[in-house]
Chains A and B, each alone.
Chain A
Amino acid sequence: MRFKQLPAAGWTRETAAHLLRRAGFGGSPQETYAFHALGLEGAINHLLTPPPAGLECPVNPLPQGHDLAKRMAEMSDIDQAGRRAAMAERRVEERKELVKVQDWWLQEMYRSGDRVLEKVTLFWHGHFATSFQKVNRAAFMAAQNVTLREQALGSFPELVKAVSRDPAMIIWLDLRGSSSPVPNENFARELLELFTLGEGNYKEEDIKEIARAFTGYRIGPQGRFWQAPRHTDHGVKRVFGRSGRLTGDDVIDIATAQPQCARFLCAKIWRYFVGNQLEDPLLGDLAEYWRRERLEMRPLLERLFSLEAFYHPSVIANQIKSPIQWIVQTCRSFELGSVPTLPAARAMRELGQVLFLPPNVKGWVGDKSWITTATLTARNNLVLQLLGLEPSRRQELAARFVSQNGFEPVTATLDIEKICGRISELDTDTELQTLAERAFGPGHYPHEIEVMRREMEEAGRSAATMQRLVKTLVTSPRFQLC
């Protein structure tokens, strides 16, 4: 099996910046420059090295002394209306906790945006898409996030097994109620259709049998997994031609060993990082390579990021930034220092990708579906707030945020002098080119530069003009691309 590697001459500032944007969350011009200096192999190595110890999750993923059973017992004494009120209050508390977890993850994406770990974790979050909407426990969403991150670059079958025992997933796909002799099929179906094989690559009979293997999966009040032997189907099941007293783990081993699994995942991972549809023969080759690597993520990513096809001109700057990419990359490109909590929260909602709240179990469709008249307008309206260029009632809103959510929102403002440099000292074209490259990456942007030149001539050189130039760049169609 031969793969076409990127030749040495292919590693340029442009291709290096492309890798940093796709594998991570982009960076400032200096970061991009340093990344390029590492060389292709060094850069890939850097991406795959875990970042130094991360920020601590603000919510204890598996809280101790949090006795749900006791609370439920207390609640059985009060009437229905009282119970509903208590649950509504509980939900408000959980929501506040979720806001903390969302913010924490965004900050982590910023902080380690020059590594691949968070980008891959985000991929798994969309792949095993689980929503707080139904789970209702911020701690469980945080626990799932931790599990995904721990296994993100490791063995895929082991990741699926860990997810099958994850408290949020067990609630999400109704495993906790699933019992022999009449299991429910929700998890079994999505395991095959969405997590491992893709639609049409199994029979309805397989789903029924697999549902039997996942009976008895339960979680305790603190979210710890256990198996209820009384509700577990211990009988013989037949799945993809294999018979036996199969457990859930057995089924996952069988399903992931199907050749179709490697194909399905490779195509999806390719689409996430490259942005188009991977076809044979490369799809087949990559899938076979991954099977030989026992479905470990690290070697797959190493291979992916060294392929010439990854750096093809039709790939570079042709993927629409997901809302999360848009938020984090904007902050990193303009060196804000962190992700400002309030504009980011609003952006997630209005651009259509809220962490821990995927629209359905398939995750986010992505690509062009990110852009509609509504979301494009939202991007252009919100980017200035994200950069702190429209402070307006920031303090008042921040105060309200604190009282409603119980923590201080992170704030940040664009340092226009740092970004645009010493305005008086540089020649116009160079500074316009530098500014455009900060927004779009290395390349040629005659149209945008022409527009900016006209604005400079009209309005002269001042901080206000510089802001206007930034605004022009970040509201242009090209800025939506990565």
Chain B
Amino acid sequence: MKNSLKTRREFLRTSALGAALAWTIPQFLDRTFYALHAAAVDRLTQVTTGKDAPILVVLQMAGGNDGLNTVIPFEDDAYYRARPTLAIDRKAGLKLGDNVALAPVLEPLERLFGEGHLAIVQGVGYPNPNRSHFRSTEIWETASDANQTLVEGWLGRYFDNCCGGEDVTVGVAIGNGLPQSFAAKEPIGVAFNGGQQGPRGRKRLEEESESQIAPELAETDVTSSEGGTISSFEGASPEGDSLAFIQRTALNAAVSAERIRAISQSRPSGEGYPQGRLGSHLSLIARLIDGGMPTRVYYASQGGYDTHNNQSGTHQRLLSEMGEAVAAFLNDLKLRGHLDRVVLMTFSEFGRRVVENGSGGTDHGAAAPLFLAGGGVQGGLYGVSPSLTNLDRGDLIHGIDFRSVYATILAQWLRVEPVGVLGKTFPQLPLVTSS
């Protein structure tokens, strides 16, 4: 199997097209191809093949993760007063020192913390926090101020500024949609929904159960599906000519589909992943990394964190799945020899309110912790656990701007100048090992 990097130019030149997409190529060949060619020649095409370059995996926890029950200030009486039914038992938390404990179901993450591969950044948020799922997610994905509306994503700006533009697979999102983080001037990034692309993919599909109307419907474990109002978010939709957009995407698809499918099918899956979408998505990412994809950024998402009602069972289940999946992912990477190249970062659009509501849940809040995991991570606790008494309208006040975390990753891990991507300078944290 050939492992050569296929650029759009090379692809069109060789034109060994077996996919149904072959029919679309001749129709726009004269317009798009020459335009592409000219544009590509103008731009820098210094794309590292990615085999040795550092990789970022972004894991979105969609819906607003309840940070207080994730990284617990177990010594603070105010915590127990605010949450008579929801507070995690004082003795049950996994103590990390510094008066905080991890939720009991996050045992796999506790192990990673012990190994020095997990950084916990506390009190992350931004000024003038917005409590709308969609607006706040947009703020995190575009790295804007709360009163600014940007269309392009922070990773899209990274791709535009720093990655040359020839390689459409520089960003890969697992799922059907591209996150707004990837939104860039030209469509870039590939959405891969896990094994169903390309002509041969079709045959495999038919072999699966035909009655699987939607993956969500196949899940039969519904100990609780509270929090399910937010399963996932979709990317933004830029204005402009629709036909050109489709043509460009068709070309991107043709270039990348064959390669991704081949890699994902050729490598055996790692072990220890929990059942369910998140586990299989992270497993797929590990395989793509191992298969030598030139991708710099992968994106996966886990939904269901919007726990307004009867939070306890759902939240524990989600955290447990997340912890297990992330730990299995790191272990898989280690076995394949890639642990040192990968940093995984979680994010959620906001945390949740300190005081529980009358329905056994919590409403939208503000600051919350996030995790970084991987071989390149300088493990430990960062920031401080926000005060439970000095609040902003009932919500935790952030101590660290999320763009500081982005700046750190851009500068110290992806090794690019953060100002070009974020528009401003943000203080960095010593989150990345120096090697």
* Chain A residues with a Cβ under 8 A of chain B: 84, 87-88, 91-92, 95, 98-99, 102, 131-134, 136, 172-174, 177-186, 189, 193, 199-200, 204, 276-277, 318-320, 342, 345-346, 348-352, 354, 357, 359-362, 364-369, 371-378, 380-381, 384, 392-393, 397, 400-401, 404-405, 447-448, 451, 471-472, 475-478, 480-481
Contacts and interface: CB of A to CB of B under 8 A. Distances in A.
A193 B256 CA distance: 38
B211 interface: yes
A357 B134 contact: no
Given A172-B229, A345-B213, A354-B214, A373 B256 contact: yes
A362 B242 CA distance: 23
Contact of B309 (A91, A99, A184, A367): A184
Contact of A88 (B135, B198, B222, B240): B222
Contacts of B50: none
B362 to A, nearest CB: 9
Q: Would you call the interface of chain A mostly helix, strand, loop, or mixed?
A: helix
Contacts of B178: 369, 372
A289 to B, nearest CB: 25
Contacts of A351: 176
A435 to B, nearest CB: 14
A384 B303 CA distance: 33
A371 B251 CA distance: 12
A475 B242 contact: no
Contact of A359 (B24, B232, B249): B232
Contact of A448 (B27, B199, B233): B27
A319 B242 contact: yes
A360 B233 contact: yes
A365 B213 contact: no
B229 A134 contact: yes
Given A185-B363, A354-B213, A397-B210, A177 B310 contact: yes
B252 interface: yes
Given A373-B252, A381-B20, A189 B206 contact: no
User: Which 6 pairs across A and B sit closest by C-beta, in order of nearness?
Assistant: A182-B358, A177-B359, A367-B237, A373-B253, A134-B228, A372-B191
A363 B313 CA distance: 26
B33 to A, nearest CB: 14
Nearest to B219: A91
B7 interface: no
A132 B206 CA distance: 25
A233 to B, nearest CB: 11
Given A134-B228, A364-B234, A476-B24, A371 B249 contact: yes
A351 B213 CA distance: 12
B34 interface: no
B405 interface: no
B92 interface: no
Given A376-B253, A476-B23, 12 more contacts: A91-B222, A174-B226, A184-B357, A320-B246, A346-B205, A357-B217, A359-B231, A360-B233, A374-B192, A451-B26, A475-B24, A480-B246
A131 B231 contact: yes
Contacts of A185: 308, 357, 363-364
Contacts of B364: 185, 189
Interface in B227-257: 228-243, 245-247, 249-250, 252-253, 256-257
A320 B187 CA distance: 15
B319 interface: no
A99 B245 CA distance: 33
Contact of A368 (B28, B238, B256): B238
A73 to B, nearest CB: 19
24 contacts: A131-B228, A132-B217, A136-B225, A181-B358, A184-B309, A186-B229, A199-B130, A318-B242, A320-B242, A349-B215, A350-B196, A360-B133, A365-B237, A368-B240, A369-B178, A373-B197, A374-B175, A374-B191, A374-B197, A377-B197, A397-B210, A451-B26, A471-B20, A481-B242
A357 B211 contact: no
Contacts of B192: 373-374
Contacts of B245: 320, 368, 371
